[in-house]
């Protein structure tokens, strides 16, 4: 009973085995991340087109839910820049940011995206996230980071620039209003950036964003700069979020579905990538399907308490780990810090300048621009570099959702292209051995006259069996005195029905040309398929061998 309960609610397991020596690290990490969450949450809510208070709401209930159901000990859940941008991109076309209608749609989006994650987790579809390859995700996040950062220019410059997913539109609008820049606002924003960057280089563990927020708020308050044109956050409601959810029509839910799919997929990808990194570091197992369930429940239940979509973030998770987090209790403590802030400290945010929140966002998203990955791909894989550039360009030029959908489509096409044309090698025997290697890489490898050995490095199925036929046809054309072909079948793990029919056709075609096809190293499950399908009988059981050399020796003897 206890084991089953621990599987349903992982918190039961770690609470049962909690050690006294863990409390210090969890307490330190929880307080540190909780303090970090307050300014970050408010800043990221602005990215999502929401009033800053919704960033604190998103940093409350979802944290407690994830701590109960998540399997990562270090993952710090809450509002993140990437998901915030996806929220804005998906909902802005249906309502104006900041309005009650917009807020209602965003909360509905949290419920819908969380439901998708929850259902995918129950159906054990954690593997679906593999549709987003690392180059695609890096290209997308790099482009999205540019869009996020540039959308903060209106707060940094103090001029009205419409929200847009086009960096060219944003830059042209900013250029057209250079004469209207509010230099005091710009000074506060740049000062915030310098302070944040400087503090992070000096003390990486220091809550730099909180220091910047406190300093900027005091500066505006003491000198009365809100009356000098500095835009401030203003009244921030006190108290915990209320329970409820707006009622939407069927058409509105349907309109939100594409954005919900993007939020659920990208949110989980970002979260599980971070969680796996720290699970590997601390040598424990992370269950991707349970993570989907946990994040889904966090968003579903959070939506009823005015939380917009959340996920695990890299920067806060790294701080959580460095500060000593040992169990999800650290996450619960972080949520408690946010809850106390909502109850008692929100009036202190009245004079918080929006330019400072913009500087927090810009510094945070700068780290998302993955130039190192582009350089790495340029050195190692031209095809992956193309995926990176394609996704990066599509996101910048077409939009957030279009960019990621195109990236996923390109990833799938790339996989299909690679699957349809697997690597093949024509082998030869290394002198003085019974070892056979690729003759391109080992020019000294040789074969008896009239015999060829071909290896195909993939299972055979409908998409790639024609490629095998093409390779065999090429061998037949290039070898006039050919009498035997040995197929190294060891890399083949399975056959489908199309491959069986094609192999029968290949054998018949070669027999007509008086060329014998031999099979070497066929695995047991594949041999079972040969027998069930009648392929072994059609080929002849005497044509199957345990290794390549035995097949080559028989082929040479039969040729003689």
CATH number at residue 512: 3.30.750.24
| Phi–psi pair at 452, nearest 5 degrees | -130, 150
Could you tell me if 291 and 126 are in contact, meaning their C-beta atoms sit under 8 angstroms apart?
A: yes
* Spatial separation of the C-alpha atoms in residues 110 and 200, rounded to whole Å: 32
Domain co-membership, 429 together with 360: no
Task: Give the residue among 119, 129, 128, 181 at the shortest CA–CA distance from 155.
Answer: 181
Confidence of residue 559 (pLDDT cuts 50, 70, 90): low
Give pLDDT, residue 366.
Answer: 79
Residue 200: predicted pLDDT: 79
| Per-residue confidence (pLDDT) for residue 41, from 0 to 100 | 92
- Reported as type and span, the H/E element at residue 194 is helix 183-202
Q: Are 189 and 361 spatial neighbours (Cβ–Cβ below 8 Å)?
A: no
Query: What residues contact residue 346 under an 8 Å CB cut-off, 6+ apart?
Result: 53, 56, 236, 237, 238
Compute the average pLDDT of residues 265-279.
Answer: 83
Pair 445, 513 in one domain: yes
pLDDT at 3: 61
Of 32 and 531, the structure prediction assigns the larger pLDDT to 531
Domain membership flag for residue 390: no
Mean pLDDT value across residues 113-127: 89
The last residue of a domain, from among 369, 400, 434: 369
Q: Are 169 and 263 found together in one domain?
A: yes
Two tokens at 517? Answer: 């096809």
Instruction: For residue range 48-93, list pLDDT tens digits in order.
Output: 999 999 999 999 999 999 999 999 999 999 999 889 988 998 899 8
pLDDT digits (tens, 9 = 90+) for 460-502: 999 999 999 999 999 999 988 899 999 999 999 999 999 999 9
Distance between CA atoms of 220 and 232, rounded to whole angstroms? 9
In this structure, is residue 414 part of a structural domain?
no
Q: Give the Cα separation of 412 and 408 in Å (integer).
A: 6
pTM of the model: 0.76
Cβ proximity of 411 and 136 under 8 Å: yes
Top mean-pLDDT range of 189-203, 369-383, 509-523:
509-523
* pLDDT score of 383 more than 60: yes
The answer on 527 and 430 residing in a single domain is: yes
Beta strands 451-456 and 424-429 are: antiparallel
- Is the pLDDT at 134 greater than 90, yes or no? no
Is it the case that residue 161 has pLDDT exceeding 70?
A: yes
173-202: per-residue pLDDT in tens?
989 988 899 999 999 999 999 998 898 788
Looking at the predicted structure, is the pLDDT value of residue 208 above 90?
no
Quick check: 384 pLDDT over 60?
Answer: yes
Q: Give the span between the Cα atoms of 514 and 484, in whole angstroms.
A: 9
pLDDT tens-place string over residues 250-268? 889 999 999 999 899 888 8
pLDDT for position 1: 52
- Select from 369, 389, 405 the last residue of a domain: 369
343, 489: one domain: no
Can you give the residue range of the structural domain that contains 35? 28-369
Q: How far is CA 335 from CA 23, 32, 61, 260, 294, in A?
A: 16, 11, 7, 25, 16
**Residue 379 falls within a domain, yes or no?**
no
Question: Kind and range of the H or E element at 499?
Answer: helix 497-512
Highest-scoring range by mean pLDDT, 22-36, 311-325, 388-402? 22-36
451 and 553, same domain (yes or no): yes
Q: Are residues 339 and 482 in the same domain?
A: no
Task: Give the pLDDT of residue 314.
Answer: 76
440 and 553 belong to one structural domain: yes
Show which of 333, 352, 369 is a domain's final residue.
Answer: 369
Instruction: Give the closest residue to 328 by CA, choosing from 65, 118, 114.
Output: 65
- Taken in order 355, 266, 64, 71, the sign of the CA dihedral is negative
pLDDT at 40: 87
> Which of 154-163, 414-423, 541-550 has maximum average pLDDT?
541-550
Q: What is the pLDDT of residue 132?
A: 66
The answer on pLDDT for 204 being more than 80 is no
- 278-318 tens-digit pLDDT: 887 888 888 889 999 999 999 999 999 999 999 998 778 88
Supply 417's token pair.
């292209």
- 62 within some domain: yes
Average confidence (pLDDT) over 8-23: 86
φ and ψ at residue 141, rounded to 5 degrees: -65, -35
Are the C-beta atoms of residues 50 and 308 closer than 8 Å to each other? yes
Average pLDDT, rounded, for the chain? 89
- Per the structure, how many domains does the chain have? 2
pLDDT top residue among 453 and 363: 453
Confidence of residue 369 (pLDDT cuts 50, 70, 90): confident
């Amino acid at each position: 009973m206890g084991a089953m309960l621990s599987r349903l609610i992982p918190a039961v397991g770690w609470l049962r085995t909690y050690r006294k020596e863990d409390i210090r690290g969890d307490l330190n990490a929880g307080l540190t991340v909780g303090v970090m969450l307050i300014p970050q949450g408010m800043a990221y809510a602005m990215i999502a087109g929401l009033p800053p208070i919704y960033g604190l709401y998103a940093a409350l209930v979802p944290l407690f839910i994830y701590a109960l159901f998540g399997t990562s000990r270090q993952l710090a859940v809450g509002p993140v820049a990437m998901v915030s941008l996806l929220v804005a991109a998906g909902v802005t076309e249906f309502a104006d940011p900041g309005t009650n209608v917009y807020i209602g749609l965003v909360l509905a989006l949290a419920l819908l995206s969380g439901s998708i994650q929850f259902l995918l987790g129950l159906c054990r579809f954690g593997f679906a996230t593999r549709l987003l390859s690392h180059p695609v995700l890096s290209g997308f996040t790099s482009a999205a980071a540019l869009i996020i950062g540039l959308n903060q220019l209106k707060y940094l410059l103090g001029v009205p620039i419409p929200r847009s997913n086009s960096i060219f539109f944003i830059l042209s609008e900013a250029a057209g209003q250079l004469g209207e820049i509010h230099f005091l606002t710009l000074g506060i924003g740049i000062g915030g950036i310098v302070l944040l960057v400087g503090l992070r280089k000096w003390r990486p563990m220091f809550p730099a964003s909180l220091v910047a927020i406190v300093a900027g708020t005091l500066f505006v308050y003491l000198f009365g700069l809100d009356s000098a044109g500095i835009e401030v956050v203003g009244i921030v409601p006190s108290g915990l979020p209320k329970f409820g959810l707006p009622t939407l029509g069927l058409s509105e839910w349907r309109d939100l579905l594409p954005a919900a799919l993007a939020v659920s997929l990208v949110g989980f990808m970002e979260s599980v990538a971070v969680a796996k990194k720290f699970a590997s570091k601390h040598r424990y197992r992370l269950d991707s399907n349970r993570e989907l369930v946990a994040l889904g429940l966090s968003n579903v239940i959070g939506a009823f308490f005015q939380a917009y979509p959340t996920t695990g973030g890299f920067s806060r998770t790294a701080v959580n780990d460095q500060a000593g987090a040992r169990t999800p209790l650290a996450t619960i403590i972080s949520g408690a810090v946010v809850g106390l802030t909502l109850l008692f400290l929100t009036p202190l945010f009245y004079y918080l300048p929006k330019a400072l929140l913009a500087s927090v966002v810009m510094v945070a998203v700068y780290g998302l621009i993955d130039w190192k990955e582009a350089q790495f791909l340029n050195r190692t894989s031209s095809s992956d570099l193309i995926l990176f550039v394609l996704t990066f360009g599509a996101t910048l030029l077409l939009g957030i959702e279009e960019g990621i959908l195109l990236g996923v489509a390109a990833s799938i096409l790339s996989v299909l292209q690679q699957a349809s044309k697997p690597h093949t090698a024509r082998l030869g025997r290394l002198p003085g051995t019974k070892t056979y290697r690729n003759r391109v890489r080992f020019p000294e490898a040789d074969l008896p006259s009239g015999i060829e050995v071909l290896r195909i490095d993939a299972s055979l199925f409908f998409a790639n069996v024609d490629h095998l036929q093409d390779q065999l046809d090429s061998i037949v054309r290039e070898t006039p005195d050919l009498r035997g072909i040995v197929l190294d079948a060891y890399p083949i793990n399975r056959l489908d029905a199309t491959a069986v029919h094609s192999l029968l056709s290949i054998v018949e075609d070669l027999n007509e040309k008086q060329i014998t096809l031999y099979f070497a190293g066929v695995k047991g499950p594949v041999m079972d398929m040969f027998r069930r399908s009648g392929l072994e009988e059609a080929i002849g059981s005497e044509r199957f061998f345990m290794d390549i050399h035995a097949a080559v020796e028989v082929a040479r003897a039969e040729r003689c």
